[in-house]
């Protein structure tokens, strides 16, 4: 009887003691061990990306524990997701005072916290708000799970990844292999749009997208599409532009109600799953990500990386580029250099 009473306390959605209620649940449940797997935290779990991302992560058989952290509404999202009859144990955490509990012991931390764009804004316009959010969350990671693999989604990714790197350096825990800016949505879009033009199933298409995650810094390498194919100059122009402007296409269609959330949650889970398979020791896990890099003269750059037990274990070279892509690369590098420097300077202030 007492067990039921204590479990009911946990089920009260207005209960702000999320962490405590999760402990009550564990104490009172018969099965305490949980399935083998990885511990994943989502920071910003109650947001437009965070909610579907939490749902999809709860469906991932590689996840044994899922921590959902936000500064608002995480109790409701946690109660909802926790009823799904999949293996992962879900715990909710609300507000800054529960950040450390949310992060302690995590293997992977996915960060979609921060404000999204409205029509007319660039991703860089989000810098002033999101830079501080990312800084605070990465300070928490430095303290509570310094060995975690970090998947950073918050925009502008071209600047937030350098900010995270500086936070980790300051804390003395920086390992470039473990910090990954998520550019997977660019690849997902590129696969979709290229498949449309070629009349193929998008699941059969693989388009490397390199550079960064904003406008001209998003550089699809259409000369390296698999299966091998060729495009007319008009198709190349159309596809490159559509992939670069994919985010803006969604922002405009949503007309003030935010940016891509559902396709982003899909892309984030696809990428996090690749990181988890790498952590498990699977061979040949390769995806594009924005990482510390020596591929160009810039300190960060998105290319294909091989994901392993310690994160991005190998950063691949660009491969042969055609003239159109070489010109695109120069444009991308010019803009990227400014965005990276902006992130670094924010932390030096
Ligand atoms: N890397 C990529 O490809 C993409 C990145 N994004 C970016 O992802 C971010 C989130 O987008 P949405 O989910 O649509 O926004 P949203 O506003 O719907 O959700 C953001 C969530 O973050 C939470 N949050 C704010 N400050 C926080 C803090 N200090 N700690 C924890 N949580 C905090 C909010 O309470 C909210 O629940 C934006 O910066 C957006 O630009 C969006 C799409 C694609
Ligand atoms: O466009 C935005 O602001 C959100 C984003 O990064 C994307 O959808 O690629």
- Cα dist from 183 to 53, 151, 288, whole Å: 15, 10, 7
Say what the pLDDT of residue 8 is. Answer: 41
Q: Given the CA of residue 123, which atom of ligand 2 is nearest to it?
A: 3
- Give every residue of the chain whose pLDDT is below 70, as ranges: 1-35
Tell me which ligand sits closest to the C-alpha of residue 266: 1
* Protein residue with its CA nearest to atom 2 in ligand 2: 247
Looking at the structure, tell me whether residues 132 and 43 fall in a common domain.
Answer: yes
C-alpha torsion angle, residues 288, 51, 340, 212 (rounded to 10): 30
CATH of the domain at 234: 3.90.110.10
Mutate to test the pocket of ligand 2, among 260, 262, 266, 271 (most ligand atoms within 8 A of CB): 260
Looking at the structure, tell me whether residues 207 and 313 fall in a common domain.
Answer: yes
Say what the pLDDT of residue 15 is. Answer: 43
Final residue of a domain: which of 181, 204, 222?
181
Say what the pLDDT of residue 349 is. Answer: 80
Q: What are phi and psi of 335, to 5 degrees?
A: -70, -40
Count of domains forming the chain = 2
Final residue of a domain: which of 181, 202, 231?
181
Question: Which distant-in-sequence residues (6+ apart) come within 8 Å of 295 by Cβ?
Answer: 301, 303, 315, 316, 317, 318
Say what the pLDDT of residue 5 is. Answer: 42
Please, are residues 177 and 150 in contact by the beta-carbon 8 Å criterion? no
Looking at the structure, tell me whether residues 189 and 142 fall in a common domain.
Answer: no
- Give me the domain span that covers residue 60: 2-181
Strands (E) in 221-299, as ranges, are: 286-292
Say what the pLDDT of residue 29 is. Answer: 56
Other CB atoms within a 10 A radius of the CB of residue 199 amount to 6
Helical (H) or strand (E) element with 210: strand 209-211
Q: What is the pTM for the complete model shown?
A: 0.94
Q: Does the beta carbon of 189 sit less than 6 angstroms from any atom of ligand 2?
A: no
The question of whether 213 is a catalytic residue gets the answer yes
Say what the pLDDT of residue 10 is. Answer: 41
Say what the pLDDT of residue 163 is. Answer: 98
Final residue of a domain: which of 133, 166, 181?
181
Looking at the structure, tell me whether residues 294 and 154 fall in a common domain.
Answer: no
Looking at the structure, tell me whether residues 94 and 218 fall in a common domain.
Answer: no
Looking at the structure, tell me whether residues 139 and 264 fall in a common domain.
Answer: no
Looking at the structure, tell me whether residues 167 and 200 fall in a common domain.
Answer: no
Mutate to test the pocket of ligand 1, among 68, 73, 101, 113 (most ligand atoms within 8 A of CB): 113
Nearest to 267 by CA among 188, 203, 211, 204: 188
Say what the pLDDT of residue 36 is. Answer: 78
Looking at the structure, tell me whether residues 166 and 212 fall in a common domain.
Answer: no
Annotated binding site for substrate: 117, 123, 155, 189
Looking at the structure, tell me whether residues 159 and 248 fall in a common domain.
Answer: no
With a threshold of 0.95, tell me whether the complex ipTM lies above it: yes
Looking at the structure, tell me whether residues 25 and 58 fall in a common domain.
Answer: yes
């Amino acid at each position: 009887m007492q067990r039921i009473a204590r479990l009911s306390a946990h089920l009260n959605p207005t209960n702000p003691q999320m962490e405590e209620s999760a402990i009550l649940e564990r104490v009172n449940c018969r099965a305490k061990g949980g399935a083998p797997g990885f511990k994943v935290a989502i920071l910003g779990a109650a947001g437009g990306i965070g909610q579907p991302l939490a749902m999809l992560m709860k469906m991932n058989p590689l996840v044994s524990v899922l921590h959902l952290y936000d500064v608002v509404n995480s109790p409701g999202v946690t109660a909802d997701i926790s009823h799904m009859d999949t293996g992962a144990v879900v715990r909710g955490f609300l507000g800054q005072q529960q950040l450390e509990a949310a992060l302690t012991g995590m293997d992977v931390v996915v960060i979609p916290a921060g404000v999204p764009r409205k029509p007319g804004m660039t991703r860089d316009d989000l810098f002033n708000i999101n830079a501080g959010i990312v800084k605070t969350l990465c300070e928490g990671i430095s303290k509570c799970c310094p060995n975690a693999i970090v998947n950073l989604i918050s925009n502008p990714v071209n600047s937030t990844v350098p900010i995270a790197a500086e936070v980790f350096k300051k804390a003395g825990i920086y390992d470039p292999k473990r910090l990954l800016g998520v550019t997977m949505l660019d690849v997902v879009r590129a696969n979709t749009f290229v498949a449309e033009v070629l009349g193929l199933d998008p699941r059969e298409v693989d388009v490397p997208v390199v550079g960064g995650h904003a406008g001209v810094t998003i550089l699809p390498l259409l000369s390296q599409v698999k299966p091998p194919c060729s495009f007319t100059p008009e198709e190349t122009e159309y596809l490159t532009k559509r992939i670069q402007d994919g985010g803006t296409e969604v922002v405009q269609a949503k007309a003030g109600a935010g940016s891509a959330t559902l396709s982003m949650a899909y892309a984030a889970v696809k990428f996090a799953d690749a990181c988890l398979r790498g952590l498990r020791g699977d061979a040949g896990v390769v995806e594009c990500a924005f990482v510390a890099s020596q591929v160009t003269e810039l300190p960060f750059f998105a290319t294909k990386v091989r994901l392993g037990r310690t994160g991005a274990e190998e950063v691949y070279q660009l491969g042969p580029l055609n003239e159109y892509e070489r010109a695109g690369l120069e444009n991308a590098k010019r803009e990227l250099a400014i965005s990276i420097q902006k992130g670094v300077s924010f932390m030096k202030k």
